């Protein structure tokens, strides 16, 4: 690993450690809506609130409160915005040794990329998600991890890190791409802010490449409105992503040594992606859930003008099954 990567990762880890050890953890219950807080205090006097988040149910957006009652029992409590307790469950035991909640699955994924002469591809895609308090990790296209620094039921700020194994083109994907440099595994760190209001969710994330492959940045803004329809949960999302000049050049530029008569030198500037995505979930039986996802993206002129590109949009879909422990 390059010295620059080690230095940035070291600084990030030191900052994370300082925040975890040197900053007092805010009371999870203090940012609850007053009606929700009052109901929890009446039903579970003296309980320790461990986690607060918004949850989509058939009766609308509710607040899910995880707490430990004075007798040591873990509960999940679902409360409406006006303070009505809708459901109380004893929380299932966590995973042995490591704790937390784990979901694994397998999807069949199809993708049509924008790169020249690259056809549609279909392949199996494993999925994993693990959550334990402020720590989350998710694996699908790559591996994404986050650690929440501050948060309540309506917002959170988190440190992020990601590993992208197969982002961009592969020189073996088509004869036209033969002779292009191989794209290596990318590592990035960043900061993410999330908030929700009246059922809407918003997310702003900044990422910095620390692999030394391109040293570029990207900033993504996303809006979503999850809702239930019968037994189906829909999670539509719109997103816009700004990509720095170095990032765009890494994926879509053509250097002097890569150029040939039908593939001219190309040095793009910063650009953007705009996308729409829908994820659909449906419980099947036991802890199994069916998962479907469709995503379409369009790109800015500095990307579509690249000689490596012959499409204006990219589409991806997947269908599979997930099991939650």
Same domain, 103 and 75: no
Domain boundary among 90, 115, 132: 90
- On whether both 138 and 252 belong to a single domain, the answer is yes
Distance CA 66, CA 77 (A): 6
Say whether both 101 and 234 belong to one domain. yes
Q: Indicate if the pLDDT at residue 213 is higher than 70.
A: yes
Q: pLDDT tens digits for 111-167?
A: 999 999 998 889 898 999 998 878 999 988 789 999 999 877 678 999 999 999 878
Domain shared by 84 and 210, yes or no: no
User: Residue 321 in contact with residue 105, Cβ under 8 Å?
Assistant: yes
Residue 219 is predicted with a pLDDT of 98
64-73, 135-144, 287-296, range with greatest mean pLDDT: 287-296
Identify whether residues 75 and 154 lie together within a single domain.
no
- The number of angstroms, rounded, from the C-alpha of 311 to the middle of its chain's C-alpha atoms is 26
Does a structural domain hold residue 11? no
pLDDT in tens, 80-121: 888 888 888 876 655 666 677 889 999 999 999 999 999 888
Report the pLDDT value the prediction gives residue 60, as an integer from 0 to 100: 66
Q: What is the CATH number of the domain that holds 70?
A: 3.10.450
pTM, full prediction: 0.75
- The residue range of the domain holding 74 is 31-90
Domain count within the chain:
2
**227 and 243 assigned to the same domain:** yes
Mean pLDDT of the chain: 85
């Amino acid at each position: 690993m390059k010295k620059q990567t080690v230095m940035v990762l070291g600084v990030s880890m030191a900052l994370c450690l300082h925040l975890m050890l040197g900053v007092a953890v805010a009371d999870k219950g203090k940012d609850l809506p007053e009606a929700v807080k009052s109901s929890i205090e009446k039903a579970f006097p003296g309980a320790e609130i461990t986690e607060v988040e918004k949850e989509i149910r058939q009766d609308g957006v509710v607040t899910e409160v995880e707490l430990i009652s004075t007798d040591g029992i873990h509960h999940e409590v679902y409360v409406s915005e006006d303070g009505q307790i809708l459901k109380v469950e004893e929380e299932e035991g966590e995973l042995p040794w490591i704790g937390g909640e784990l979901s694994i699955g397998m999807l069949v994924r199809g993708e049509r990329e924008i790169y020249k002469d690259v056809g549609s591809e279909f392949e199996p895609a494993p999925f994993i998600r693990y959550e334990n308090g402020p720590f989350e990790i998710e694996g699908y296209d790559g591996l994404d991890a986050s650690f929440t620094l501050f948060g309540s039921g309506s917002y959170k700020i988190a440190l992020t890190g990601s590993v992208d194994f197969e982002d961009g083109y592969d020189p073996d994907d088509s004869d036209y791409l033969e002779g292009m440099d191989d794209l290596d595994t990318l590592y990035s760190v960043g900061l993410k802010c999330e908030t929700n209001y009246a059922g809407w969710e918003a997310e702003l994330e900044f990422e910095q490449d620390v692999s030394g492959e391109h040293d570029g940045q990207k900033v993504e803004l996303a809006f979503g409105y999850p809702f239930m329809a019968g037994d189906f949960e829909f999670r539509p999302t719109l997103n816009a992503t700004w990509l720095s000049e170095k990032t765009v050049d890494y994926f879509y530029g053509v250097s002097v040594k890569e150029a040939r008569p039908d593939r001219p030198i190309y040095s793009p500037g910063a650009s953007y992606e705009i996308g729409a995505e829908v994820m659909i979930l449906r419980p099947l039986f036991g802890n199994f859930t069916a998962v479907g996802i469709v995503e379409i993206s369009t790109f800015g002129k500095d990307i579509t003008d690249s000689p490596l590109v012959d499409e204006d949009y990219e589409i991806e879909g997947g269908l599979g099954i997930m099991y939650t422990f």
